[in-house]
């Protein structure tokens, strides 16, 4: 099974790019993040042969799954916390996660909170969100996450964490910033403790995101923050579709594609 994750940074702006990618990439499942639209505004890709599920509440966040190997048991809550910058207000669930069973594998498209600044409440929210994800994967969550995750599980998306210092173009630039802190990286290790492996370590020396500003892409100043973690299926090959970051109208992220052996055979 071939699974791709792509922070599309507005699916309505880049609908044609998604269609072209589906035609040439031969992916079985495409997980999108930051679709930036409501469910009603999400484009209809079913004419491409893919079923689709989308979770979007307004013009930011938003996640989707497109699958040509089945799409069943769609869910949007694994027990994650909500967020409101007013900590005394209701902490409403954001459109950052959608999961479904695709070809016998439980696949989640995840848009992990950015964290903003280390002193910002959004950073602690990010850590709690990731704690809930690891608890769900480990089967020790609470509330909605009392539902058990599947043995065959794939958690993919924009994690907003660089796993290693080598996954950013200049580690000193990130001193005192999010995305590289020990607390964030510890949450990735918690996923491994829950039995998942970092499938995208197969492409550990390539970036997946380049900021639009300061000509980061042209200078090769990127980050590896789009990741795939899997359990019960074996990654056999992986690549970053760097060409999708090129040209007019590109997202600031490139698709990350991983091939998996799902049935356990050689």
Q: Is 114 annotated as a binding residue?
A: no
The pLDDT value recorded for residue 142 is 57
Q: Is 173 a catalytic residue?
A: no
**Annotated catalytic residue: which of 123, 136, 253, 260?**
253
Q: What pLDDT does 259 receive?
A: 98
123: annotated active-site residue: no
R_g of the chain, CA atoms, integer Å:
17
Nearest to 164 by CA among 177, 180, 175, 188: 180
pLDDT at 106: 98
pLDDT digits (tens, 9 = 90+) for 188-213: 999 999 999 999 999 989 999 999 99
Question: What crossing angle do the helices spanning 121-138 and 182-193 adopt, rounded to 10°?
Answer: 10
Q: Is 34 annotated as a binding residue?
A: yes
> 226 labelled as ligand-binding?
no
Residue written as token pair 């280390």: 118
Q: For 128-144, write each residue's pLDDT tens digit.
A: 999 999 999 999 765 55
pLDDT at residue 133, as a whole number: 98
Q: Is 213 helix (H, G, I), strand (E, B) or coil?
A: helix
Q: Which domains does the chain have, with CATH numbers?
A: 2-261 (3.60.10.10)
Residue 183 marked in a binding site = no
Of 123, 136, 158, 259, which residue is the catalytic one?
Answer: 158
Give CA–CA dist 4/19, Å, rounded: 14
Please report the pLDDT score of residue 141 as a whole number: 64
How does DSSP classify residue 223? B
Q: What is the mean pLDDT of residues 99-120?
A: 98
What kind and span of H or E run contains 139? none
- Determine how β-strand 105-111 pairs with β-strand 153-158: parallel
Does position 25 have pLDDT exceeding 80, yes or no? yes
Q: Is 122 a catalytic residue?
A: no
Residue from 28, 54, 111, 136 carrying the catalytic annotation: 111
């Amino acid at each position: 099974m071939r699974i791709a994750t792509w922070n599309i940074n507005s699916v309505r702006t880049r609908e044609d790019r998604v269609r072209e990618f589906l035609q040439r990439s031969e992916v079985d499942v495409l997980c999108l993040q930051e679709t930036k639209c409501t469910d009603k505004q999400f484009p209809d890709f079913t004419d491409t042969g893919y079923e689709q599920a989308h979770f979007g509440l307004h013009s930011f966040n938003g996640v989707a799954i497109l699958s040509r190997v089945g799409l069943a048991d769609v869910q949007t809550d694994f027990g994650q916390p909500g967020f409101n910058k007013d900590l005394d207000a209701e902490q409403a669930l954001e459109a950052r996660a959608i999961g479904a069973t695709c070809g016998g594998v439980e696949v989640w498209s995840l848009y992990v909170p950015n964290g903003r600044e280390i002193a910002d409440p959004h950073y602690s929210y990010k850590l709690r969100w990731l704690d809930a994800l690891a608890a769900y994967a480990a089967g020790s969550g609470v509330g909605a996450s009392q539902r058990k995750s599947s043995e065959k599980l794939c958690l993919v998306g924009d994690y907003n964490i660089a796993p290693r210092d080598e996954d950013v173009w200049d580690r000193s630039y990130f001193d005192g910033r999010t995305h590289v802190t020990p607390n964030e990286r510890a949450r990735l290790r918690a996923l491994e403790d829950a039995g998942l492996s970092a499938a995208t370590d197969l492409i550990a020396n390539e970036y997946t995101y380049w900021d639009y500003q300061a000509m980061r892409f042209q200078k090769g100043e990127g980050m590896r923050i789009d990741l795939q973690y899997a359990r019960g299926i074996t990654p056999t090959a992986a690549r970053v579709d760097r060409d999708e970051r090129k040209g007019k109208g590109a997202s600031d992220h490139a698709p990350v594609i991983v091939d998996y052996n799902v049935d356990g055979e050689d």
